[in-house]
Amino acid sequence: MIIDLHTHTLVGSDDSYVDIDELVQRAKESGLDGVCITDHEWFWKQSTIERFRRELDFLILPGVEMNTEDGHFLVFGLERYVFGMHRTNFLKKELDKVGGVMILAHPYRRNMYYGEEVEDSVKRYSKRSFFELVDIIETHNGRATEKQSLFSQLLSQRLHFKGTGGSDAHQLRDIPSCATSFERDISNVQELITELKAGRFQPVDLRHKD
């Protein structure tokens, strides 16, 4: 089962140009089995997601991309914003209360210094203490360059984290690009969290299909 874990819509992300109907249609045409809507600090109501899911006849799962002092995280399991979530420690505590999961998104951003070798950038960045709070690293981002992707993948290898994939779609042309392949079927957010925690997944790059 292939799900794009990282997408944005014009409803909850002011830098996105994608309507949810268009997003789902493009995902269907691309052979995806589902999408996660992870707008920037925007919490979709479960009832709204369920309505779209019925009307569009497609698996749509709610998540959110949170901006913290340590970067951006894709989080699943939270239903509302609580003041203090801009701090990674606090965000992790809130997720632990509901049994949620957090994925470090596009870790290369602002962490690759000009003129520095990728391996050196990874070594330097990997020493940050917040990694003890991270569950998974997004290793395949549809908007990343080859060098940026290498950074993310080497980072996950160095720290022994599993990697996910997502398009990080802000425009329709961003799909298909990267996604995550799951070993088991998923029909709701709790099942998604269960499979992520169990590690029964792998990132896929749909731009380089055989």
Q: pLDDT tens digit string along 158-197?
A: 999 999 999 999 999 999 999 999 999 999 999 999 999 9
Number of domain units in the chain:
1
Q: Can you tell me the distance from the alpha carbon of 163 to that of 44, in angstroms, rounded to the nearest whole number?
A: 25
Which of left, alpha, beta for 117 (phi over 0: left; psi -120 to 50: alpha)?
Answer: beta
Instruction: Report pLDDT for 12.
Output: 81
Q: What is the mean pLDDT of residues 92-114?
A: 97
Is residue 95 predicted with pLDDT exceeding 50? yes
Q: What number is the average pLDDT over the span 58-71?
A: 98
Per-residue pLDDT at 210 exceeds 80: no
User: Is residue 139 a contact partner of residue 163, using CB atoms and an 8 Å limit?
Assistant: yes
141-164: per-residue pLDDT in tens? 999 999 999 999 999 999 999 999
- pLDDT band for position 13 (cuts 50, 70, 90): confident
Residue 100 has pLDDT above 80, yes or no: yes
Edge-to-edge, what's the strand order for the sheet holding 59-62?
A: 59-62, 34-37, 2-7, 178-182, 201-205
pLDDT confidence bin for 209, thresholds 50/70/90: low
* Pairing mode of beta strands 59-62, 34-37: parallel
Which helix (H) or strand (E) segment holds residue 96: the answer is helix 88-98
**Mean of per-residue pLDDT scores for the chain:** 96
pLDDT of residue 126: 98
Among 12-26, 28-42, 179-193, the range scoring the smallest mean pLDDT is 12-26
CATH of the domain at 80: 3.20.20.140
Rounded average pLDDT over 41-47: 93
What pTM value is reported for the model?
Answer: 0.96
Which CA distances in Å does 149 have to 56, 118, 134, 162? 32, 10, 18, 14
First to last CA, the chain: 18
Query: 206 pLDDT exceeds 70?
Result: yes
- Whole-angstrom Cα distance, residue 24 to residue 10? 13
pLDDT at 138: 98
What is the extent of the structural domain holding 133? Answer: 2-208
Residue 54, classified by CB atoms within 10 Å of its CB into exposed (0-12), middle (13-18) or buried (19+), is: exposed
